[in-house]
Chain A
Amino acid sequence: MEIFFFLLFAIVALACALNVVLQKHPISSALSLVGVMVSLAVLYLMLGAEFIAMAQVVVYAGAVMVLFIFVIMLLNAGAETRKGGSITAQVLGIPALLAFFAALVFLITTYYPGLSPVKFGDFTGGGAREIGMKLFSSYLLPFEVTSVLILIAIVGAIVLARKELD
């Protein structure tokens, strides 16, 4: 059963990922990225990470991607002109990419052959309670730091984006 869902969403994710890279117009790549994120959210669910899946949808798909779409819409820059990318990049890029990917796969398969199969109910640790407990006990400092980080990001974004009050 799980294999069906896994394959389904894996293929969806991969297709959307390729779409992100190959599409000419940023909007379509943005939307395909949303697709990737949602399919990943589902995969997280399968891996028992409910809170993270929902957070993924809320934060990533719901907020970050909307930001992207906002920017794309506002800028309305239109499709990217396919200025002749250097052939060498193409010729070199693809095989290099495949090699890179093959190296990854090789490493994973050789070093993590006997990993346990994933069953849906196996690991129920991903709930909000466990994460909440952990977050405010042993990971309190990173939590505070990230909160400060976000504050900085917000202030930064505002300062950068607002029109000059000339």
Chain B
Amino acid sequence: MQNLWIIPALPLLGFLVNGIFGRKMPKLMVSLTAVLSVVLSFAYVLFVLSSAKSLDQPAVEHYFTWIQSGAFNVGFDYQVDKLTAIMLLVVTGIGSLIHIYSTGYMAHEEGYWRFFAYLNLFMFFMLNLVLAANYLLVFVGWEGVGLCSYLLIGFYFTKKSATDAGNKAFIVNRIGDFGVALAMFLIFITFKSLDFHKVFALAPGKPVATLTAIALLLLVGAAGKSAQLPLYVWLPDAMEGPTPVSALIHAATMVTAGVYLCARSSVIFVHSPAAMDTVAMVGLATAVFAAVIGLAQNDIKKVFAYSTVSQLGYMFLGVGVGAFSAGVWHLVTHAFFKALLFLGAGSVIHACHGEQDMRQMGGLRKYAPVTFATLGCASLAIAGFPFTSGFYSKDAILVAAHAHAPWMFWVAVFTAGMTAFYVWRAYFMTFFGKYRGHGHPHESPVSMTGPLVILAALSLAGGFLFNVPEILGKMFQVEAEGAEAATLTYISVAFGLAGIGLAYFLYVVNSALPDKIASSLGGLYTLVYNKFFVDELYDVTVVQPTVNGSRTLLWRGIEHYVIDGVVRGVGANALNIGGVLKHLQSGNIRSYATWVVIGGAVLLILMGVGGFAFAGGVR
């Protein structure tokens, strides 16, 4: 019993302390409790992993039965195995780095304590999600992180755009959660339990159709959470939140939850090839689509947001083609360099006093050398420069994709090239050329540059430092990834370098060229720049109809006129029925007389027709 509950408990404690007393505590105390709780949790994780005997078999710890109703029995229990371990390390590690970074970044923001409280709450839910031993607890974490992302995106609540983005994020996540919930219902119906070890044990025996259905629903959930194609719209808007939030939540941890879930329920996915293909296809499509949009973005955070979506596409591609460990590996490495990219961008924005538009930046290498250097490492890693962490993980995915379906490899490699191009485009636009903005940028304080340096080291060395596939080797009983085709790696590296070269040529050598190309492409460029109008499309097809439809049709129309109309109608009719009968009492005696006689006649005729039988007749 390694009472794993302490890991999430610490951030929860941090949240409670900051949440309740934060207002009155000095900033230092607030940041201290926040950072300390996460760092301690990281330390405890290391302690747990070191003391654990073998993480092959998940050691489930049961604390108390949460919901017990008839056959439905869900306990509040945690487990840890290799996959959880990796995720724990990533979450707590990068989490603590970002906490340190944000003490600097958020130094002179009002509502300082509120930020750290929400951050700690996020850590609690993320850890809960990762450590959970049954689907329901995962779902708790799942929605919890959704809530925290809503709170953090909407941190600057006075700005309507921020609160709109927060709502949008929460609702789109909710649509994802809809998928996960339905998956859980199906799981319980088929497996009579939601615990991982029971479900995965019985999975092989179940009919493929059900498993596919479950897998697809899980995919919907994952797509919602990890911003895959149909439900990715909330991530770019999530940039409204402070940068550390984007780094932590929308790069390193939360968005990876989808991949983690697929990896966790790999047994189900494996047994439903159709689901695997759809995951791959979705991943690939998102990768390509996000990369293309990324090309034309001018806001530095938007560029990195779309690159996250694209890299997540890669991870889903890895999972889809069966290379679960490759996918997870890319997840880990991506966490390192993408966190670095965002934090770098944060410090760039910090340097330019909140300016986010790259066209207003340039030539920052002179003003922020450390950021320039660390951001360089990150760009190299993401572009897949040989021997950097990105190269290893992306290459593993590309090889697996090739083994699965060659055309996938070529599309993936081409997107890799595009990735390299737009990252380096951003790199060159910010650091090369002369400073186009007003004011004078300055280097960020050491509390921000420190984590940058650590992350730079990780993103460079992360590849061979954490060789995830051989750690996770035995977990996913999936066919070996085929021979290490050297030629494929050369091709991918070639594409990467070509991307960097092109970016260098366009943005450093003659910076006027991109504008000319943009104007020549005309319609295509505006289309890409406006993100293929996807947001507007959603707005017109889904949001407006529901809101206006329900206002005019449902509320005014059905509710008011139809149902209420019926109710009011009943009342009104009672009146005019009375009106009709009124005429009978005309006050004219002769009309009464006539009615009497008519009544008598009718009665008589009835008796006649009815026969005097009932009168017994005389005889």
Contacts and interface: CB of A to CB of B under 8 A. Distances in A.
Interface in B591-619: 597, 601, 604-605, 607-608, 612, 617-619
Contact of A100 (B601, B618, B619): B601
Nearest to A97: B597
A1 interface: no
Contact of B618 (A103, A104, A106, A115): A115
Contacts of A115: 618
A104 B619 contact: no
A114 B619 contact: yes
Given A100-B601, A103-B601, A112 B608 contact: no
Contacts of B604: 100, 103-104, 107
A4 interface: no
Nearest to B612: A111
Contacts of B617: 111
Nearest to A99: B601
A115 B617 CA distance: 12
B610 to A, nearest CB: 11
Contacts of B605: 103
B608 A103 contact: yes
Interface in A85-133: 100, 103-104, 106-107, 111-112, 114-115
A127 B250 CA distance: 118
Contacts of A114: 619
A106 B597 CA distance: 18
Contacts of A103: 601, 604-605, 608
A112 B618 CA distance: 7
Contacts of B607: 107
Contacts of B601: 100, 103
A112 B604 CA distance: 15
Contacts of B618: 111-112, 115
A114 B618 CA distance: 10
A164 to B, nearest CB: 25
Interface string B115-128: 00000000000000
Nearest to B605: A103
A153 B619 CA distance: 40
Nearest to A92: B594
Contacts of A111: 612, 617-618
B613 to A, nearest CB: 10
A104 B617 CA distance: 15
Contacts of A100: 597, 601, 604
Nearest to B607: A107
Contacts of B619: 114
A10 B415 CA distance: 121
A103 B607 CA distance: 11
Q: Which of A104, A107, A114, A115 has the most CB of B within 10 A?
A: A107
A115 B597 CA distance: 28
A16 B186 CA distance: 97
B602 to A, nearest CB: 10
A61 B605 CA distance: 33
Interface in B416-452: none
A107 B608 CA distance: 6
Nearest to B608: A107
A111 B604 CA distance: 13
B616 to A, nearest CB: 11
A132 B617 CA distance: 29
Nearest to A115: B618
A103 B604 CA distance: 8
A82 to B, nearest CB: 16
A107 B603 CA distance: 12
A66 B351 CA distance: 126
A106 B619 CA distance: 18
A94 to B, nearest CB: 14
Nearest to A111: B612
Interface in B543-602: 597, 601
A152 B55 CA distance: 110
B617 to A, nearest CB: 6
A111 B607 CA distance: 11
Nearest to A110: B608
B612 to A, nearest CB: 5
A115 B601 CA distance: 24
Contacts of B597: 100
B227 to A, nearest CB: 86
A106 B607 CA distance: 12
A78 B255 CA distance: 109
A81 to B, nearest CB: 16
Nearest to B613: A111
Nearest to B619: A114
Nearest to B615: A111
Interface in A42-83: none
Q: Which of A100, A104, A106, A115 has the most CB of B within 10 A?
A: A100
A112 B615 CA distance: 12
A72 B145 CA distance: 103
A112 B601 CA distance: 19
Nearest to A104: B604
Nearest to A100: B601
Contacts of A107: 604, 607-608, 612
A118 to B, nearest CB: 15
B65 to A, nearest CB: 81
A85 to B, nearest CB: 10
A114 B601 CA distance: 25
B585 to A, nearest CB: 20
A107 B604 CA distance: 9
A111 B597 CA distance: 22
Nearest to A93: B594
A60 to B, nearest CB: 22
10 contacts: A100-B597, A100-B604, A103-B604, A103-B605, A104-B604, A106-B608, A107-B608, A111-B617, A111-B618, A114-B619
Interface of B: 597, 601, 604-605, 607-608, 612, 617-619
Given A100-B601, A107-B612, A111-B612, 10 more contacts: A100-B597, A103-B601, A103-B608, A104-B604, A107-B604, A107-B607, A111-B617, A112-B618, A114-B619, A115-B618
Interface of A: 100, 103-104, 106-107, 111-112, 114-115
The 5 A-B pairs at the shortest CB distance, nearest first, are namely A111-B612, A107-B608, A100-B601, A112-B618, A103-B605
